[in-house]
Structure 1
Amino acid sequence: MQIQGQAALVTGGGSGLGEATARELARLGAKVAILDVNIDGANQVAADIGGIAIQCDVTSPDSVQSAIAQAAAAHGPARILMQIAGIGSAKRVIGKDGNAAPLEDFVRVINVNLVGTYNVARLFAAASAKLEALEDGERGVMVLTASVAAFDGQVGQQAYSASKAGVAGMTLPMARDLAQHGIRVCTIAPGLFATPLMKTLPEPVQQSLAASIPFPQRLGKPQEFAQLATHIVTNGHLNGEVIRLDGALRMAPR
């Protein structure tokens, strides 16, 4: 699918990997709607790229349905979905106090990262399936975001790893399911990237993490994530695939 002139939705587009992806889509000529709970960040990015910002809770069917409708009213029906919204967590199963980890933390991460991803995907797919088919019968493309933690999660990452493994696990069946509607589905599993969250860590910690990456021995650039995400859109034979973007990194236990 050609990106020029298409309407695109980016969840989590107010910062980090989502922001970089929104900016790259706009550079390539897409009409971008940024869906984020952080409306201030979304507004700032939207103003920079000539897009629109919509406050959206990915876990809420009503919120997502409303956001899709608002974006369609401004830009026309979206054929591109970049799902990058997500949260992290680090809780050992048994804490230093000897107590079990709070169940609410696990549920919260699963709800945002996995249930939220599926919620947006199903509503986007239902809208896209009604559109006229383009070349090769294509109607839409969605890119989901997992993590290398889906495959080699570290100590304390039970909730995060489970949520991202779920995203990776539903990629192929969702692509097969939506093939009849001409909608492709791929997932990117990023490693260690120089996001605003990463930059809050002390510089020696960032350097130590970068040194664990075989090559190139540096943190990933958000623009590199965005370049892969937009390539998936334009490469019509990419479907049902989970792509690691990590410089050959394999995470140690801790």
Structure 2
Amino acid sequence: MKPENRTFIISGGVSGLGLATARDLHSAGAYVSLLDINANVGATIVRELGERARFFETDVSDTKSIEAAIKGTVKWVEETGKAIGGVVAGAGVGTPGLIIDKKNEPLSLSSLDFVLSINLRGTIDLIRQTLPYITTNKPSSPDGERGVIIMISSSAAFDGQMGQIAYAASKGAIASLTLPLARDLSKYGIRAVTIAPSLFESNMTKMLGPKVKLSLEKVMEFPKRAGQPEEFARLVRECVENEMLNGTVLRLDGAMRMPSKL
């Protein structure tokens, strides 16, 4: 699928990996619907990108908030005539927490629910609410392709560290649901692909201390540095354009395998 003259819904779309993805797809001629919680930044990004961008203040843990954003996007699509080509579910959080802490207190359910609600439930909810507007698309290729769903997992899904119970669970679930989602959607000509990045420059990694970040970079094989958002966005573009990418999880990690602890 060519991004040009297609609308892509991107959650977490005004910062980090989501913003890099939005800029890349936009540069390829796409229309981008940006879902995020930061309205001020959203307005700034829309001014930067111009008329082929819209922002919808969205909390992906709130199904009504997602519903409103999709309705707004659909109304915009009706105005532009540029069908929804896909979803990039990029909203996520990484709140750490040991399953049992030094005070012998178990991980709180509220902490667990917060991470799962955004990373897992928010991803599935965004996808399921958008799909009815993709399944009815006119096929865009001789193979009958109608759209693509791109989800974000993490290297933590495969080798999560101490304190990543909730995060690894949420990202592991995303990896696990990729194939059944692709199978569910195959009859509609809609693909499902997941990208599992390791250490990338993002708002989440900005919270890491310099010693922690250096320790993580040391366990990368090559290159020994954090990935750049633009490198992530290039893989998203490939997932959009390459029809043979379907039902798979793509690790983007510089051969990094995270140690048990730093």
Q: Distance in 2 between matches of 1:101 and 1:204?
A: 25
Partner of 1:107: 113
Over residues 46-71 of structure 1, what are the superposed CA-to-partner deviations in whole Å (9 max), with x where a residue is unaligned? 22112111011223332222211211
Q: Aligned residue pairs: how many? A: 254
Cα distance in 2, alignment partners of residues 238 and 197 from structure 1: 27
Q: Give the TM-score normalised by the residue count of structure 2.
A: 0.93
Give the SS at the match of 1:160. Answer: helix
Displacement, 1:200? Answer: 4.0
Q: Hey, what does 1:237 align to over in structure 2?
A: 244
The one-letter amino acid paired with 2:123 is T
Q: Contact 2:10–2:89 (CA<8 Å) still a contact in 1?
A: yes
- Please give the secondary structure, in 2, of the residue aligned with 1:142: strand
Q: Who is 1:123 aligned against?
A: 129
* 2:23 aligned residue: 23
| Cα shift readout 1:1-28 (whole Å, capped 9, x = no counterpart) | 0111111111001111111111111111
Per the alignment, residue 59 of structure 2 pairs with 57
User: Match of 1:8?
Assistant: 8
Note the C-alpha offset of 1:205.
Answer: 3.5
Which 5+ residue runs of structure 2 have no aligned equivalent?
Answer: none
2:208: which partner in 1? 201
CA distance in 2, matches of 1:141, 1:245: 19
For residues 240 and 69 of structure 1, what CA distance do their matches in structure 2 show?
28
Q: 1:97 and 1:225 mapped to 2: Cα distance?
A: 39
SS in 2 for 1:81: strand
Q: What is residue 76 of structure 2 aligned with on the other side?
A: 74
More deviation, 51-60/173-182: 51-60
User: Which residue among 144, 147, 151 is the counterpart of 2:158?
Assistant: 151
* CA contact 2:216–2:258 (8 Å) conserved in 1: no
Residue 29 of structure 2 aligns with an amino acid whose one-letter code is: G
Q: Report if aligned partners of 2:16, 2:203 keep a CA contact under 8 Å in 1.
A: yes
2:182 aligned partner: 175
* 3-state DSSP of counterpart to 1:120: helix
Structure-1-length-normalised TM-score: 0.96
User: Which residue pairs with 1:160 in the alignment?
Assistant: 167
Deviates more, 1:26-35 or 1:44-53: 44-53
* Shift, 1:93, TM fit: 1.2
Q: Distance in 2 between matches of 1:67 and 1:73?
A: 10
Question: Contact 2:99/2:107 (CA < 8 Å) preserved in 1?
Answer: yes
User: In 2, Cα distance between the equivalents of 1:104 and 1:199?
Assistant: 24
Tell me the residue number matched to 1:84: 90
Show the 5 A alignment for 1:218-229. Answer: 218-229=225-236
How far did 1:204 drift?
A: 4.1
1: distance between equivalents of 2:211 and 2:117? 33
Match of 2:48 in 1: 48
Query: How far does residue 39 in structure 1 lie from its aligned partner after superposition?
Result: 1.9
Among all aligned residue pairs of Structure 1 and Structure 2, give the percentage whose two residues are the same amino acid.
Answer: 39
**1:7 touches 1:30 (CA, 8 Å); kept in 2?**
yes
Helix, strand or coil at the partner of 1:137 = coil
Which structure 1 segments of 5+ residues have no match?
none
Q: Runs of 4+ in structure 1 displaced over 6 angstroms?
A: none
Question: For the aligned residues, what is the CA RMSD?
Answer: 1.3
Contact 1:8 1:31 in 2 (8 A): yes
